Amino acid sequence: MTVSPIGREIDRVDGPLKVTGSAPYAADYRPEGLVYAYLVQATVGRGTVRGMDVSRAEAAPGVIAVFTPFHPLPLKSPSGESGENYSALQDTAVRFRGQIIGLVVADTFERARDAAALVSADYTVTPSRTSLADAGPGVPQGLVQKLAPGVSSIDAALASSPVTITTSVSQHAHHHIAMEPHATTAVWVDDQLTVYCGAQSPQRAAATIAARLGVEPAKVRLICRYTGGGFGQRSPVWNEALLCAAAARALRRPVKLVLSREQVFTAIGHRAAVRQTIRLGAEADGRLRALSHDSDGELPAAGGWQMMPGRDTSAVAYRTPNIRIDQRLVTLDTPPTWSMRAPAEAPGMFALETAMDELAVRTGVDPVELRLRNYATEDPVEGHPFSSKYLDECYRVGAERFGWSRRTALPRSQTDGDWLIGMGMASALYPAWRQPASARARFRDDGRVAVASATSDVGTGAFTMLAVVGADELGLPVSSIAAEVGDSALPPGGVGAYGSSVTTSTVPAVQAACRAAVKALVQSAVDNPRSPFAGLAPATVRYRQGRIEANGRSVDFRTLLRTMGVPHVEAVSTSAPDKSASQYKFHCFGAHFCEVRVHRLTGEPRVNRFTSVFDVGRVVNAKAARGQLTGAIIWGIGHALLEADPIEPDGRFAAASMADYLVPVHADTPEIDVHWLDRPDPHISEFGARGLGEIGLVSSAAAIGNAVFNATGIRVHDLPITIDKLL
C-alpha cells in the first residue's frame, strides 16, 4: 500500500541537482560558437543621446559588434502587458537613468564588459521628475467606494465617528534581486529560436519574444527548466533578453547576456515607491465605521506595474459600513517598476495594520480583540461570502503559541537588560487565484510517469508539487514521477508562476491529466492486439497503483507498454474554476505575532521571535510550504527594518548594489514558528489548495512595526525602521 504523500514533509525532487550544481540555469548553456554581450546604460536621468563614441570599444580586443540607437537591432514596439513601454535602441530618448543605450558583443564575457566601459555617450539632459515625496497627488486610477445608506461621503462618515485615526506611511523602491541574475542565452537554428532565460511564465514569455522580434509564435521556444527566483521580476520579458535574441539573429550566432548584480537594479523593474494614508473612524469600542485608504504610487514614464495597494487589502480586511479606496499613480522618470512578491498587499497591509494598531492603542482594545470585533465574514464591499475563512482560529492559535497574553499594552514596560522588549501582531490576507491550467501525464515504458505543465519552478517547489500530486493520484511513490516544467513547448495552457496561483491552479489539472492518462492506458490495453487485455471491455479493466488488472491478471504499466511495443501513453487535460466560484470571495488569511528588542541607548531594532498561523486551504508539501512561508516572513523583516532604495534628483538609485541595499542575513533572522490550519477550501477546487507563496510577507512588517511601538512608544511611519528613527 502506498501512503499518500499529500501534506507530508517531502524533499524537493530537484534538490540534489541544485546542491550539486548540475541543474542548468540560463547562463549555463554553452552552445557551439557562443559569443557574449554586455549592456551599456544611460548615466543621465532624462534627455536624449546626442551621439555615442564607440570607436574605442570597436577597436578593443575580441569585439564583434557594438549596437546603439545609431546602429540598432530591430525590435517591434511592445503592445499589451509588458514591463517597459518602449523597445531599447529604437530611438535616442533617455527615459530614466540606467536605460539600455548600447550592447557590446565580444568573444568573451570579460572582453565584452571591458569594451562596454569604453563606450561614451553625449547627452542633452532635461530635468527629471524622480521624487515621489515632492510630487503631490497622482492621477486617480481605481476608486473603490461603498457608503452606508444616508452617508454622503467618507469624510462625513469619518467626521461623525467618535474615534478617528489618520496614519500616513511611505516606502522607497524595493528590489527583487533574485539569486540568479538575469541571463539569456539565445540560439537560432535557421529561423527557429531557442531562448534560455529565466521566466515565470514560459509560454507568455515566448509569445512576447516572438512578437517583439516579429516572428511567428511557433518559431520561438523558451526554456527555463531551472529559474533562480522570480518574485514578479521574471514575469515580463525585459529589453535585455530581447536585445540578446535580436543580436543572435543579427550576428547569426548564439549570444549570451548576463547582467551584473548592479545592472539588475536598474535594467529590471523594481517595486514602486509608494505613499499611503489610512483614515479610520471607529466607535469608542473600536468597531469601525469608516475606512479610507489613499495611495500615491510611483509609475515610471517608461512603463511599469501599477501600484494599487488598497484594492485587495483595505477593501477586504474588515467589516466596515463605509469604505473608500483612492489609488493614484504619479508619473516619474524612474526605472521601470514591476510587481514584487505580495506586490501591493505588502505595502497596503503595512499601512492598514499600522493604523489598526494605532486604533488599538487609542481605544485601549487589545489588538487581537480589535480585529475580532471587526471580523468580516463576507467581502465588505461586494458582499460575497468568503469561500472559506478561519482567520479567527489563526488569531486564537497564534496568540496561544506565541504567548500573547504575556504582552503588556503599555510601551516601554518590558525590558531585558538594556533592551526594550515589545510585542506586536497584525493580520495577513492575500487573494487566492485559480487560473485555468493544463497538464500532461505520460506513462512511460521506463516505468516512470512524466507529469508536466508549462509553468515555472522559480524555486518555489513546483516540480515537487507535480510529483506529489501525480504520485497521490496514481498511487505511485513520488520517485516514480518525473516532473517537467519550464518549457514553452509543453502543452499550451501552463500558468504563470505569480499571484500564488501555481499550486491552486495546477493541482486540479494534474489530477485531471492523471485520470485521463489512466483512461488512455486502459483503452490502449484493450485495443492493442499485443496486450494481454486485448479485446476486454474497458469497464472490466482497472488501474491500481501502477498496475493494470482484469480477470485475475495484473501487469505493471512498464511491462504492459513494453509488451504492447508502445513507448508511452499520455493525456493532456485542462481544468478551470467552476462557474459557481464567482459567488465567493477567495482569500488566504493569517495572523503574525512577533517580539522585538530595541536597545534603549543605541536604538537597534531586532526581531526576537515570530509566530505566524495561516489559513491557506490544503497544503501539498509541508516542507515546501514552511519554506515559502518562512522565507516570506524574512522578507517582511527586510521590508520593516532594512530594504530601501532612495532615488536621487537625477534619477540615480542611491543603493543600487548588494553592498548598499540591505537584506536580512542570518543574524537578523530569529526562530520563526510557522503553522497552518488544515482547512481545505471547499469551493476553490476539489483538492482545496489556495496557494501560499506570498501571504507570509503580507503584514509581517506591520507586526514588527507594531512591536517596535510596543517596545519604544515610537511609531515609525516611513520605512525602513532604522536606528536613527528610534534614538
Q: Catalytic residues, which ones?
A: 694
Q: Quick one: 646 or 680, whose CB is closer to another protein?
A: 646
- Interacting positions 404-443 with another protein (CB under 8 A): 418
Q: Quick one: 179 or 601, whose CB is closer to another protein?
A: 601
CB of 111 to another protein, least distance (A): 9
3-state secondary structure of 209: helix
- Contact segment (CB under 8 A) with another protein among 85-93, 429-437, 654-662, 685-693 equals 654-662
CB of 43 to another protein, least distance (A): 4
3-state secondary structure of 702: helix
Q: How far from 325 is each of 143, 154, 306, 348, CA to CA, in Å?
A: 6, 10, 15, 11
Q: Quick one: 1 or 727, whose CB is closer to another protein?
A: 727
Q: Quick one: 590 or 670, whose CB is closer to another protein?
A: 670
Q: Which residue has the cell 571591458?
A: 114
CB of 604 to another protein, least distance (A): 6
Instruction: Verify binding: residue 648, another protein, rule CB under 8 A.
Output: yes
- Interacting positions 92-111 with another protein (CB under 8 A): 110
Q: Quick one: 98 or 398, whose CB is closer to another protein?
A: 98
- Interacting positions 660-689 with another protein (CB under 8 A): 660, 662, 664-668
Q: How many other β-carbons are positioned within 10 Å of the β-carbon of residue 532? A: 17
- Which of 173, 513, 598, 655 binds another protein (CB under 8 A)? It is 655
- Contact segment (CB under 8 A) with another protein among 305-313, 496-504, 544-552, 658-666 equals 658-666
* 8 A C-beta contact, residue 506 and residue 497: no
List Cβ neighbours of 104 (8 Å cut-off, separation of 6 or more): 37, 38, 40, 57, 63, 65, 66, 67, 112, 115, 116, 119
- Which of 519, 547, 599, 675 binds another protein (CB under 8 A)? It is 599
Q: Quick one: 324 or 652, whose CB is closer to another protein?
A: 652
Q: In whole angstroms, what is the distance from residue 248 CA to residue 251 CA?
A: 5
List Cβ neighbours of 673 (8 Å cut-off, separation of 6 or more): 401, 402, 609, 610, 611, 612
Consecutive H or E run containing 193: strand 192-197
Instruction: Verify binding: residue 179, another protein, rule CB under 8 A.
Output: no
Number of residues interacting with another protein: please give it, by CB under 8 A: 33
CB of 642 to another protein, least distance (A): 6
Q: How far from 411 is each of 7, 417, 421, 477, 485, CA to CA, in Å?
A: 41, 16, 9, 54, 51
- Which of 139, 530, 602, 678 binds another protein (CB under 8 A)? It is 602
- Contact segment (CB under 8 A) with another protein among 2-10, 534-542, 641-649, 697-705 equals 641-649
CB of 652 to another protein, least distance (A): 7
CB of 264 to another protein, least distance (A): 15
DSSP lists the bridge partners of residue 671 as 609
CB of 179 to another protein, least distance (A): 16
Nearest to 14 by CA among 712, 468, 483, 381: 483
Instruction: Verify binding: residue 608, another protein, rule CB under 8 A.
Output: no
- How much of the chain is in helix, strand and coil states, percent to nearest 5? 30, 30, 45
Q: Which residue has the cell 493604523?
A: 355
DSSP lists the bridge partners of residue 323 as 146, 291
Interface mask toward another protein for 34-73; x: CB under 8 A = ---------x------------------------------
Q: In whole angstroms, what is the distance from residue 548 CA to residue 564 CA?
A: 13
- Which of 183, 490, 641, 672 binds another protein (CB under 8 A)? It is 641
- Which of 18, 56, 76, 113 binds another protein (CB under 8 A)? It is 113
> Where do the H-state alpha helices sit in 214-337?
239-251, 261-267
List Cβ neighbours of 296 (8 Å cut-off, separation of 6 or more): 132, 135, 137, 138, 274, 275, 276, 328, 329, 330
* 8 A C-beta contact, residue 57 and residue 39: no
CB of 601 to another protein, least distance (A): 4
Nearest to 66 by CA among 107, 98, 102: 102
DSSP lists the bridge partners of residue 553 as 550
- Contact segment (CB under 8 A) with another protein among 70-78, 195-203, 323-331, 642-650 equals 642-650
Q: How many helical (H) and strand (E) elements, i.e. helices and strands, does the chain have?
A: 15, 27
Interface mask toward another protein for 116-155; x: CB under 8 A = -x--------------------------------------
Q: Which residue has the cell 485521463?
A: 516
DSSP string across 711-725: HHS----BSS--GGG
Q: Quick one: 416 or 724, whose CB is closer to another protein?
A: 724
Length of the chain, in residues: 727
List Cβ neighbours of 469 (8 Å cut-off, separation of 6 or more): 6, 451, 507, 510, 511, 514, 620, 687
Q: In whole angstroms, what is the distance from residue 716 CA to residue 727 CA?
A: 12
- Which of 142, 385, 477, 646 binds another protein (CB under 8 A)? It is 646
- Which of 642, 673, 675, 680 binds another protein (CB under 8 A)? It is 642
Instruction: Verify binding: residue 114, another protein, rule CB under 8 A.
Output: yes
Q: Quick one: 417 or 535, whose CB is closer to another protein?
A: 417
Q: Quick one: 117 or 125, whose CB is closer to another protein?
A: 117
CB of 632 to another protein, least distance (A): 19
CB of 668 to another protein, least distance (A): 5
Q: In whole angstroms, what is the distance from residue 200 CA to residue 236 CA?
A: 8
- Interacting positions 245-304 with another protein (CB under 8 A): none
Instruction: Verify binding: residue 551, another protein, rule CB under 8 A.
Output: no
Interface mask toward another protein for 333-352; x: CB under 8 A = --------------------
CA atoms within 13 A on the CB side of 15: 9
* 8 A C-beta contact, residue 518 and residue 484: no
Q: In whole angstroms, what is the distance from residue 38 CA to residue 244 CA?
A: 9
Residues near another protein, by CB under 8 A: 43, 110, 113-114, 117, 418, 599, 601-604, 606, 641-642, 646, 648, 652, 654-655, 657, 659-660, 662, 664-668, 720, 722-724, 727
